[in-house]
Amino acid sequence: MLKYPAIILFAGLFSINTYAQQQAQPTQPFPFSVTLTQTDSSELDSRKVFETGKPTVVSFWLTTCMPCLAEFAAYTKNYADWKQQTDFNLLGISLDFPGRFNKIAPMAAEKKWPFPVYWDRIRAFKQIMPGGLNGMPQVFLFDKTGKLVWQHKGYSPGMEQVLFEKIKAL
C-alpha cells in the first residue's frame, strides 16, 4: 500500500519540475508593485523588498497550513548553511485573511524564522502569479534578472533540497 503514494509523489515531483519550466511568467514584472504588510503593521512596496541581482525565493503560506509550517521549518534548519554556500533572497508571504494577521508575527518569532515574512493583505499576488496561488504552500524561484525559473506547490520532505539545488544552479 505504501508503494503507490511514493510512486504518485515521485511522478508529481517530475510533473511539477517539467511544468514549472514551461509555465507562463507572472502578469506583472518582477519586482511587482504590491503593498506588503510587515509584522509590525507598517506597509511597504514589494519593489523595496524583492531584489534583483541574486536568486529570490518567494514562499506563499498560511498560518493554518501544516505543510507550509513544515516547509518553513526545513528552510529554518538549512538557512544558515545555504547562505554560506550561495547568496540568495528568501521571503515568506502570508495570504491569511485579516482575522489571522495577528498570528503571523508571534508565529515567526516563536519558530525563529531567519528570513523575513510579510502579509499580502489584499491577496494581490493571487492575480499576479501563474496558477492563481491555488493550494499552499507555493514556492516561486526567480533568477538574478527576475525571471521565474521554477515553482512547486505543496510540500513533502526533501523538496527544500530540490529548491536549494535549483538556487545553486542559477
Give the residue from 129, 151, 92 showing the smallest Cα distance to 167.
151
Q: Which residue has the cell 547568496?
A: 87
Which among 15, 3, 138 has a CA at the least distance from the CA of 71? 138
pLDDT at site 153? 94
What does pTM read for this prediction?
0.84
Average pLDDT for 91-107: 97
Q: What is the pLDDT of residues 41-90, one digit of tens each?
A: 999 999 999 988 999 999 999 999 999 999 999 999 999 999 999 999 99
| CA angle, 71 then 18 then 77, to 5° | 20
Half-sphere exposure of 33 (CA within 13 A, CB side): 2
pLDDT, tens digit (0-9, with 9 covering 90-100), for 124-156: 999 999 888 988 999 999 999 999 999 999 999
Total domain count, the chain: 1
Burial of 76 by CB count in 10 Å (0-12 exposed, 13-18 middle, 19+ buried)? middle
The domain that holds 40 is classified in CATH as: 3.40.30.10
Looking at the predicted structure, is the pLDDT value of residue 1 above 60?
no
SS3 content of the chain, % helix, strand, coil (to 5): 45, 20, 35
Give the 3-state secondary structure of residue 35: strand
Cell (9 digits) for 149? 525559473
Q: Which residues lie below 8 Å from residue 70, measured CB to CB, with a gap of 6+?
A: 155, 157
Domain that includes residue 85, residue range: 3-169
